[in-house]
Structure 1
């Protein structure tokens, strides 16, 4: 039976998850519980579980730190993050440290069941690969060498090593993806025709003394990965091999592929070769991401093809889009999204820049939805981590744009309409809190943009709410409050004028003097004289 560990600092939440898991159905057993990250780490090291459910907010070692530790110490452990805080920072950490999935509290039984189905399927797949026979299992072995740490010292097939007793080998990796995203795509079916094409090329490349292995990456990206080994690999021949690989892939899949080619690396012995294979794959994958969006059927080489300069993220266009989304305007949201997406997916943009920008927009939408008390999962049907994975496996702009236009934006607009009263009440609460913030920190630099970011709200939207509730825009409200405080100090203290300016938030005394006269109709000297005469009359 497969072992499960559950980590949360609140016992009642751990109990709820334990009671919700149909243990026998999934052939699972509860191996242990932990109330904080340090205890969880020690438990994982001692028990070596297959599956971990973990909270993010915990004392001592929190979820982010625990993910980082386990990413290194237990890379094959399936980690499911369970948290009530689905904001960008936590989700980003979950993605960076390869969390398997993400659940929001309170955990719903049907969502838990879906994650368990997915987890057990992944564990079954891993078991099947581990049990694959040594003969004829080159694809499975390459897959394990690339993606499973425990195979780092596994002996390599003799066919991948040079003949004549030499322990030194040269290797390179080609990583490929279709230029147009296809939802239903059987990457495993490509292995046989691709290997057949490579075999036909054997006599004409690298002096005929080379071998190749092919596999596909796990997860949603499913890059095609081809490793080439030989005594002496020639860069020009590697490029020809890539072109022949593209031809074979297009014939087998019916769609063009672009490739990222690693540099040619040298390794000595099995252990060094395993590390070199991973390094070469990382180079090839990164080179592939540097492809321009409009390019098709290209081969990008690590270290030779300069990456595309990343345009500045269009923050102003994002602000306009988010405002339209928050106001529930479908027409404005559609037109603003069109301009925003075009800005980060133009001719010069790389795949990497487009994916990163789309992920930033995704998390901005998630934050904004949270101001109305919901998240992407409630609005669109899947958690933010799932949509981030969908973006990461799409290398063409059209499929990413379609994901937003067909699923994410309609869901967010529908939620804005259905939760309008809730969002308005939340907005009124925020405005009251902003007023208290001004009263407590009027002597500090304050901007509405800074405050809006703290509440995950669009600045223009908060500005409209503030004006609607108070009758003043934020700057006027803050200025009026500061001037009123300066008047109090002039009446009841012996502070000098420049000291008063500093105490109400103005470092520039001359600017403070101008603002004071504009708001009161008097200079500071005239006001203080009037106050003095008034006090004398009272005596």
Structure 2
């Protein structure tokens, strides 16, 4: 119920108003008190905290105009309705200046009073709902919400939380309901920071500052959540729509974070950016890609955005820089677990690199790219611990970059990659079944779907480049040729045994474009699908 205080110097009028309001029977209003003048009213307002003040204008000691002025300053949320027997425009003007909600003439008509109170009831109800929606949280609510969000997102990054649990983030105010996700790792360039400045402050404060700044930018430009994962790193999980410009927008956002850090705090950061992938189940992959991208900081330096897509291009360029024969042979030797052959090929590779590189920095950069490349493959096969032991890939790269002797480089890299070949040989995922046989079964089961070389290679836990070479060696065909043969074979069966339209048959075997199907079919058989159908039926008729 809303509370009313009646102020009038005439007792009979106060009681008449009380009775009129109470007789309404609406249950909306309660008369909590009566006051005979402005002074009395102020005391009761302090004690009773009414929502509405019904006040006369002409009263002894303190009139209604003075009362309104004081109420406006001390009780700004209190609504005022003025009652007066004096039909004077000056009173109306003064009352309106003080924010009076209504001005009623004595004697007050019942309908007129109830109409004025009805409008105020609607206003008070709306204000109450607004206040409830912005009610202050319990002191620890924000901290609990942050901890729950961090726990869920950390689980998503590790692949330990099911995608269905994303709904929990929505319930605590962090909805991630767009179809695609990308991960970003923001690393403080500690080596570029004034050491006195870093030493005098709690290191966690730097990360908290970065996290808050990143979260503010995410709240403005995208859906996402940022939190601290180490003394020098903040991770951001970003939820985006599936659209062509999404990757460009994400790169621009990363650049904006880097520039804002410099301008606002004179801190520099390096940002590793994973690809935008569809589905919550892809979050761990994007997170791993952001880590891989960030490793290139050791090669090209900090204070920049490093995207995984760009680093993949650099791996491709590395393969082109190396003699084609040596790259393919090295891939094959490592994935087949041939330790001595791997070590010999590494020696050949580094010797050739040192002879043709333009500077020592180029040699270190190329070898670091090589380590990062195989680190990514080891991660996918869960062989990193077996390969590097307690050493991190960062420390392995730093050790490599500290060497200036060709002989020492050859010794270190041949031992490292030789050890990886040994891990490959012992890997249970490389044993127990033939990878090409598994790949053939997989393609037969999924040939109607859009497949890529990477899809099939990852299914059998092989590097795509090595898988491509091995598949051709074992089958005499490329994967695309084998896949196409399966689809054409199925198309021939359907053309011969059914009356389905060519368009329907093309779609059933995975061709979205019937013109492309007609072209591929004719290249493979020498006839169009319709001509083949006629020839096949003619042969059946003759037999």
Q: TM-score scaled to structure 1, two decimals?
A: 0.39
Q: Which is helix-richer, 1 or 2?
A: 2
The structure whose Rg is larger is 2
